[in-house]
Amino acid sequence: MAKKHVKAIFPGSFDPITNGHLDVINRGIKLFDEVIVAVGRSPIKNPLFTPEERVEMIAELVSDIPSVSVESFDGLTVEYAAKRGADAILRGLRSLTDVQYEFKLAMTNRAVAGIETVFVMTSEEYGFTSSTLIREVALLGGNVSNLIPENVYKRLQERLKKVTRDP
């Protein structure tokens, strides 16, 4: 019997992508034959980077991993997963708060679309980071260079110069 090719999507806003996200990608590729990093276009969030910019930054970071690709999507994650033929949704967990939220989401996704969610714990050094927190600290002038990849940090600095300029 031939081994099944198992594909997962790793959805998120990735605004910006963090070292914690990269940790989840690297752990996920050990579990799945293929991982699609799925950059969501959320109408609710006020992103710092466009979906195209986020895809470009992430693609640079994973270009040396042949079984990882990056795409953007609109709409429900489960619909995108079905469209891409994904077997699972990959999610990272940082804290007990994440577990409660992600558990409800995973149960809903399984009930609505029949797709499983696989969770991986982030490494301890990334357990407190989030894109939202990094954006807030950076906007207030804090140094986040050790929490995000170097290419992302450079682009974040450039974007903050534009955002924080007086009109």
- Looking from the CA of 36 toward its CB, the CA atoms found within 13 Å total 21
Q: Per the structure block, which two tokens stand in for 110?
A: 């399984």
**Residue 131 bears catalytic tag:** yes
**Is position 154 annotated as part of the catalytic site?**
no
**Which of 54, 91, 94, 135 does the annotation list as catalytic?**
94
Amino acid letter, 163? V
Q: Which of 13, 54, 91, 131 is catalytic?
A: 131
Spot the catalytic one: 21, 54, 91, 135.
21
Task: Judge whether 5 counts as a catalytic residue.
Answer: no
For 40, the enclosing helix (H) or strand (E) is strand 34-40
State the catalytic residue, choosing from 45, 83, 104, 154.
45
Whether 45 is a known active-site residue: answer yes
Q: What does the longest C-alpha to C-alpha distance in the chain come to?
A: 65
User: Where do the DSSP E strands lie in 41-127?
Assistant: 68-73, 88-93, 116-121
Residue numbers annotated as active site: 21, 45, 94, 131
